[in-house]
Structure 1
Amino acid sequence: MATSFDSTLSSLGITRSATAAKAATATSKSDTLGQADFLKLMTAQMNNQDPFNPVDNTQMVAQMAQFSQLSGITEMSGTLKAISDKLGATSATDAMSYVGKTVLTAGSTAYGRSAGGIAGGVELDASASNVNVTITDASGLVLKTMNLGAQTAGTTTFDWDGKTDAGADAGAGPFTVTALAQDAGRTVASRALVWAPVQSVSIPSTGPAQLTLPGIGTIATTAVRQIG
C-alpha cells in the first residue's frame, strides 16, 4: 500500500523501487560491500558450515537483521539522492524567467543606465582597510576612481553617477570596472560585481542553466548573486 511518502515522491516523478535499484547497482560497482555481496557471504557461510557445528540461530537472526538494515539504508540513500537531484535541477520555466531581467554577477564589463552611470559591488573574501573601484572606458582611459574605505568581508555596493573625475559626462559605455582591496598593505582577494541584462538562456542536459550577458559572456545561474 502506497504511503503519503510514496505519494510525495510520485509527485516529484520519483519511484522508490527505481531509486533502490539504481543505488544497488551503484553500490555493487564500488569497493564496499553491497546487498548482493552480503547475501553471497551468508549463502556461502550456510553452504560451508560444519554439519556437526551449524551456525547458531541467534547469529543467523542477527545477520539477517543486518542484511535488512543494509537494504533499507541503500533504498533510503537512493531515494534521498533522487529527491536532491530533482529539487536542485532548474526547470525550463525557471530558467526562461531570467530573460529580460538584470542580474548581478562577477564581471568587469558594464553598460551605462538610461539615467547615466552604473551600479555594482565588490565581493571581498576578507576584511579590508581600503577598497578602491576604478572605472575606465573602452580605450583604458580612467574615468572615475572611487574609494569605498574600510569594508568587512562580504559584498559592498557602489553607485556611480556617470560623471568623470573632471565632472564630464562619461557616456553610455561600455565601461570596465576594476576592484582593488588591501589590508595593511596586503592585497585582499576580491572581485568586481556588475549588473547585466540577460539576453538568452540555454539549458544543458546536465548542470545548471546558462545565461548569456552582454560584455560578460555565458555564466551559470549558480553564479548569479542577485536578480534585479
Structure 2
Amino acid sequence: MASTFDSTLSSLGINSTASSAASSAVKSSSTSLGTSDFLKLLTAQLQNQDPFSPTDNSQMVAQLAQITSTSGIADMGTTLKEIQTKLNGTSTSDALSYVGKNILTASDTAYGRSTGGIAGAAEIAGDASDVSVSIKDSNGQLLKTIDLGAQKAGDINYDWDGKTASGADAGTGPFTVSVKATGTSGSVSSQNLAWAAVTAVSVPATGSPSLSVYGVGQVAISDVRQVS
C-alpha cells in the first residue's frame, strides 16, 4: 500500500519511478528539505486528499512536529552563529585590555624586577611532601634553591630577593626557573608560573586572539592565572 507521502507525490504528477530517477539530481542541488518545502508538501497533501478518506490526524500532527523541529533547528543555528560572533568580539576586547599589565602564566623563564629578585608560583598537580624551586642564570649555573616544604595541590607563591646562595646580587636575568615536587608515591607533576608583561595582542583572521608576553611568547587568554 502506497505511503501518504507517495500518494501526495502521485497527486502532483510525480510517480515513484520518476522520483527515484531524479534522486541523484535532487541530491546534487539540495541535501535537505527546508521549512517552506515541508509546508508546500503538506498543503498539496491537504488539497489532494480523498474527502472520504482524509489524512489521519496522528499523521498530520507528526508532520507538523517535523516542520516545527526543522524550523527550530534552523533558528537555533542562526542564534548560535550570532552568539559566536559576539563571543569573538568580546574575546578581542578582553585581550586588548591586558596590554601594559603583568600576568602570571606557565613559563620557565623569568626576568628580575627593578628592585631585584622575582616573584612567581609553583603549580603542583597533587599533594607533595616536599616542593622546591631552583633558579639558574642564563648560563645554567644554579643561583638559589627555595625550599617550600610540604604543600597541598595548587599554586604556592614564592618570592626571591635576587640574592644567590652566597649572598651576591644575581642581576636582572633572564633566569631559568624549575619546580620539583615529590610525594609518597614519587614525583608529582609540577611547573613554574612566572610574572611577565603583556606587550601586545595578536588577533588572527580565524581563531581566538593571543597575548604577546615579554620573555615568554604567545599566551592564550585561557592560560592566564592572575593579572596585576
TM-score class, shorter-chain normalisation, is 0.7 to 0.9
* Matched residue SS, 2:157: strand
- Residue number in structure 1 paired with 2:104: 104
Displacement, 1:57? Answer: 2.8
Provide closer, same or farther for how the CA distance between residues 88 and 189 of structure 1 changes in structure 2, counting only shifts above 3 A.
farther
Q: Distance in 2 between matches of 1:165 and 1:87?
A: 49
Q: Distance in 2 between matches of 1:111 and 1:82?
A: 42
Displacement, 1:172? Answer: 0.9
- Residue number in structure 1 paired with 2:26: none
- Residue number in structure 2 paired with 1:39: 38
Q: Distance in 1 between matches of 2:141 and 2:151?
A: 27
Provide closer, same or farther for how the CA distance between residues 92 and 68 of structure 1 changes in structure 2, counting only shifts above 3 A.
closer
* Contact kept? 1:38, 1:67, Cα under 8 Å: no
The structure with more radius of gyration: 2
* Contact kept? 2:133, 2:148, Cα under 8 Å: yes
* Matched residue SS, 1:164: coil
* Matched residue SS, 2:65: helix
* Contact kept? 1:104, 1:196, Cα under 8 Å: yes
Q: Distance in 1 between matches of 2:130 and 2:215?
A: 28
Provide closer, same or farther for how the CA distance between residues 115 and 35 of structure 1 changes in structure 2, counting only shifts above 3 A.
same
TM-score, with length taken from structure 2: 0.73
Deviations 1:75-117 (A, max 9, x none): 1343145224413544554333322211111101111001111
Q: Please show how residues 65-104 of structure 1 align to structure 2 within 5 Å.
A: 65-90=65-90, 92-104=92-104
* Contact kept? 1:89, 1:208, Cα under 8 Å: no
**RMSD in angstroms over aligned alpha carbons?**
3.1
- Residue number in structure 2 paired with 1:161: 161
Displacement, 1:70? Answer: 3.6
Provide closer, same or farther for how the CA distance between residues 38 and 223 of structure 1 changes in structure 2, counting only shifts above 3 A.
farther
* Deviant stretches of 4+, over 6 Å: none
- Residue number in structure 1 paired with 2:148: 148
Displacement, 1:143? Answer: 0.7
The gaps in structure 1 that reach 5 residues or longer are: 1-27
Q: Distance in 2 between matches of 1:37 and 1:159?
A: 67
Q: Distance in 2 between matches of 1:111 and 1:46?
A: 76
Q: Distance in 2 between matches of 1:50 and 1:95?
A: 61
Identity among equivalent pairs (%): 50
The count of corresponding residues between Structure 1 and Structure 2 is 197
Provide closer, same or farther for how the CA distance between residues 69 and 134 of structure 1 changes in structure 2, counting only shifts above 3 A.
same
The gaps in structure 2 that reach 5 residues or longer are: 1-29
Provide closer, same or farther for how the CA distance between residues 148 and 35 of structure 1 changes in structure 2, counting only shifts above 3 A.
farther
Displacement, 1:173? Answer: 0.8
* Contact kept? 1:131, 1:147, Cα under 8 Å: yes
Match for 1:162: what amino acid?
G
Displacement, 1:210? Answer: 2.0
Provide closer, same or farther for how the CA distance between residues 125 and 85 of structure 1 changes in structure 2, counting only shifts above 3 A.
farther
